A and B are shown apart, each in its own frame.
Chain A
């Protein structure tokens, strides 16, 4: 059966700033099974990227993990010393970012950047072996190996993003965190990239956390979906369940505001209001000021995660 690869327990991440403390992630618990694709969805500022960064302990100061545990194969990343974390980064857990132009070094050829990645992490690998590995990686990405000589500016956006994922995968990690990998891509290139990601996932038996603000992107790829709002988990469930029978009013609102080209849906129904201020979050449920089904209890008490029809949903409606 499924093994748990990542077990996040009651994680809290804070950013102390001059006017107070931003509670970017506020008590998130989430389990990831080996080999699954988890779509992590929410609006900007909901804490989804911060959650991704915390897993690799890449939070930029003053951001810090205030409490909680992140168990990776049973070992707690939060309490590890920096040396141990370095061993995980890249080798076991890889991360790719939204904009490949800022993540690739413009001064070095693609080949050199592959070699550097390999040699930093694997002692004793010589340049020739490294190049060979890079070539075979490029092949599985559908890029000709001649292009190793080229520099990032000579490639198109889609190709650069494929190079990024190749660099993430060359050390054979088992967990990939992809933070909005397709946001800077055009629709056709985006579709190509998501297809590639699905292939790689099978080929390398990868577990993927796919962070995105667009539910449409993850629909076909993700096995499960986590919806985040205001630093907390609103709803977690199987992809089909989330799309067909969303329970949390926020998930419902999010789905109603996404254009669906295949449906006969003459109008979108946007959600009222805007995301909460995380320095002074609303009392009770963080979503209550925007919630169409708000009840008395929502303004006073924060909802725990309830189990309902296979969903995990943090909403008093399902108590």
Chain B
């Protein structure tokens, strides 16, 4: 059994709301956006964990904290067993070689004034890994590997001269050039066209094998998870409501929210009919989350106890945990 590469323990991020002068004078209670509210999971070496949720569920914030791009309010992140918050500044810099990120928007994450070759070899320069000649060689090799070919021709091009799909390849190449072992991919295909999406997904799967990578794949689209993830963690309002192996979650979604999400995924088949009605309403505000289970106002199974007690993740199957006491009891009986 592979060991855990990343372990996240009770991670919380509460952003304080900016208070006005009047609020200060009247000493009004400080408000927080509970973006991430107690998240724990681990990712094994070589595994792809899909972190799925709607906008505002805290999935991106979680990803950023794991990379220590944000200091959490509380909680721990372990990389190979050591807490990344115990790393000194210089140690952290070294660690960043091993932990990389791919962002959603290749337009925003590439400098329009930097040629492709420069952008991709920039991390090598920062980490001073190679001399100039070697760096170029490493850069050209990785460009060919991500399908930016002919590399020597594209090396001198600028982002605006490339297509959307090529740009996303540049972002991927830049993330992989330092030879990381962990990559956070934050909605890497959300901006792309359907046909480009399939290409990028295929590339990511191929590179994962080739570079022996571990991914945290952040997305709102369950359908794409199917082609890349080993396990899924479903987030709702800053918490994980269900986590388990992909096939298991797809086949037997236990949490009512997971079932809803799966049901809402558009199916390219005109004869397909949804099995459940889509619940009304939207994800509530993370400033005043509903008491008890955060999904209770929209849940068709909600009982009195759901409004009173915050549910904990409970085991419902092999490696499959769900934060819904109602369903857990149902399954046991």
Asked if residues A217 and B266 are in contact (CB atoms below 8 Å), the reply is yes
Are A158's CB and B282's CB within 8 A?
yes
**What is the 8 Å Cβ interface bit string for chain B, positions 239-273, against chain A (1 contact, 0 not)?**
00000000000100000000011111111111111
The residues of B that contact A259 with a CB separation of less than 8 Å are 198, 221, 223-224, 226-227
For the complex, is B222 an interface residue (Cβ under 8 Å from A)? yes
| Given known contacts A187-B221, A261-B250, A270 and B227 CB-to-CB distance under 8 angstroms | no
Whether the Cβ atoms of A255 and B268 lie closer than 8 Å is: yes
Interface residue? B280 (CB, 8 A): yes
- Contact residue among B194, B263, B265, B274 (Cβ-Cβ distance under 8 Å from A257): B194
- Tell whether, in the assembled complex, residue B280 and residue A260 are in contact, meaning their CB atoms are under 8 Å apart: no
Q: Which of A220, A255, A259 has the most CB atoms of chain B within a 10 A radius of its CB? A: A259
Binds B, one of A14-22, A59-67, A76-84, A208-216: A208-216
B201 within 8 A of A: yes
Does B195 make an interface contact (CB < 8 A)? yes
Which residues on B sit within 8 Å (CB–CB) of A215?
Answer: 194, 268
* Closest-CB distance, B55 to chain A (whole angstroms): 6
Q: Is A101 an interface residue (CB 8 A)?
A: no
Which A residues are in CB contact (< 8 Å) with B193? 43-44, 213
Tell me whether B129 is interfacial, beta carbon within 8 Å. Answer: no
Cα of A69 to Cα of B78 in the assembled complex, Å? 65
The answer for the CA separation of A191 and B99 in the assembled complex, in Å, is 36
Check A150 for interface membership: any CB of B closer than 8 A: no
- Closest residue to A242 on the B side, CB-wise? B270
- Once the chains are docked, how many angstroms separate the CA of A255 from the CA of B272? 15
Can you name the residue of chain B whose Cβ is closest to the Cβ of A191?
A: B264
Contact in complex: A220, B270 (CB < 8 Å): yes
A-chain residues with CB within 8 Å of residue B55 when the two chains form the complex? 157, 186
Q: Is B114's CB within 8 Å of the partner chain A?
A: no
In the complex, what distance in Å separates the CA atom of A195 from the CA atom of B198?
27
Q: Is A268 part of the contact surface with B, judged by Cβ < 8 Å?
A: yes
- The answer to whether A192 and B222 have CB atoms under 8 Å apart is no
Nearest A residue to B197, CB-CB: A257
Per a CB cutoff under 8 Å, which of A156, A214, A257, A261 touches B282? A156
Q: Are B220 and A261 in contact (CB under 8 A)?
A: no
Which residues of A sit under 8 angstroms from B268, Cβ to Cβ? 215-216, 219, 243, 255, 258, 260
Given contacts A215-B268, A261-B267, contact A267 B227 (CB under 8 A): yes
Q: Is the CB of A188 within 8 A of B195?
A: no
- In the complex, chain A residues 212-232 whose Cβ is within 8 Å of any chain B Cβ: 213-217, 219-220, 222
Give chain A residues whose Cβ lies under 8 Å from the Cβ of B283. 186
* A183 → B minimal CB distance (Å): 10
Whether B54 sits at the interface, judged by CB under 8 Å, is: yes
Q: Which of A186, A260, A261, A266 contacts B262 (CB 8 A)?
A: A261
Write out the residue numbers on chain A whose beta carbons fall within 8 Å of the beta carbon of B269: 219, 243, 260, 262
A186–B194 CA distance with the chains assembled, in angstroms: 16
Say whether A270 contacts B262, CB under 8 Å: no
Using Cβ atoms and an 8 Å threshold, which residues of chain A touch B264? 187-188, 190-191
A220-B270, A259-B224, A274-B165 known; A192 vs B278 contact (CB < 8 Å)? yes
Q: Does A284 belong to the interface (CB within 8 Å)?
A: no
The reply to whether the CB of B70 lies closer than 8 angstroms to some CB of chain A is no
Q: Is the CB of A195 within 8 A of B278?
A: yes
A253: which of B195, B222, B260, B282 is its contact (CB, 8 Å)? Answer: B195
Task: Mark contacts of A231-259 with chain B using CB atoms, 8 A cut-off: 1 yes-contact digit, 0 otherwise.
Answer: 00000000110010000000001110111
Please measure, in the bound complex, the distance between the C-alpha atom of A260 and the C-alpha atom of B265, giving whole angstroms: 9
What's the minimum C-beta distance from A127 to chain B, rounded to whole angstroms? 31
Interface pair A187/B280, CB less than 8 Å apart: no
A142 at the interface (CB under 8 A from B): yes
Q: Is there contact, CB below 8 Å, between A254 and B194?
A: yes
B223 close to A261 (CB less than 8 A): yes
- In A82-99, the 8 Å CB interface with B consists of none
* Cβ of B289 under 8 Å from chain A: no
User: Per-position contact with B for A152-184: 1 when CB-CB < 8 Å, else 0?
Assistant: 000011110000000000000000000000000
| Cα distance A274–B198 in the bound complex, in angstroms | 13
Chain B residue with Cβ nearest A260 = B268
B38 within 8 A of A: no
Q: Are B194 and A213 in contact, with the CB atoms below 8 A?
A: yes
- B266/A274 in contact, CB under 8 A: no
With A158-B282, A186-B220, A259-B223 known to touch, is A219 a contact of B195 (CB < 8 Å)?
no
In whole angstroms, what is the CA distance A217 to B226 when docked? 18
Q: A215-B268, A260-B268 given as contacts; is B261 within 8 A of A188 (CB)?
A: yes
Interface assignment of B163: CB less than 8 Å from any CB of chain A: yes
Report the separation of the CA atoms of residues A214 and B190 in the bound assembly, to the nearest whole angstrom: 12
Residues of A within 8 A of B220 (CB): 186-187
Please tell me which one of the listed residues A43, A158, A240, A268 contacts residue B202 in the complex, with CB atoms under 8 A apart.
Answer: A268
Q: Which residues of A contact B270 (CB under 8 A)?
A: 219-220, 222, 239-240, 243
Q: Say yes or no for B297: interface residue by CB 8 A criterion.
A: no
Question: Once the chains bind, are B164 and A142 in contact (CB under 8 Å)?
Answer: no
Residue with the greatest number of chain B CB neighbours at <10 A, chosen from A44, A191, A192, A266: A191
A261 / chain B contacts, CB cutoff of 8 Å: 222-223, 226, 250, 262, 265, 267
Interchain CB contact under 8 A, B164 and A44: yes
User: A24 CB to closest chain B CB, in angstroms?
Assistant: 16
Tell me if A262 and B272 are in contact (CB < 8 A). Answer: yes
Among A189, A271, A274, the residue within 8 A (CB) of B163 is: A274
Interface residues of B in 273-327 (CB under 8 A from A): 273-274, 278-280, 282-283
B199 within 8 Å of A (CB atoms): yes
Q: Tell whether, in the assembled complex, residue B266 and residue A214 are in contact, meaning their CB atoms are under 8 Å apart.
A: yes
Excluding A216-B266, A261-B223, 4 further A-B contacts by CB distance (< 8 Å) are A186-B220, A188-B260, A190-B266, A219-B267
Residues on B lying within 8 angstroms of A by beta carbon are: 54-55, 163-165, 193-199, 201-202, 220-224, 226-227, 250, 260-274, 278-280, 282-283
Pairs across A and B, CB under 8 Å, 13 listed: A44-B164, A142-B280, A187-B54, A191-B274, A192-B278, A216-B267, A220-B273, A243-B270, A255-B268, A257-B195, A259-B226, A261-B222, A268-B227
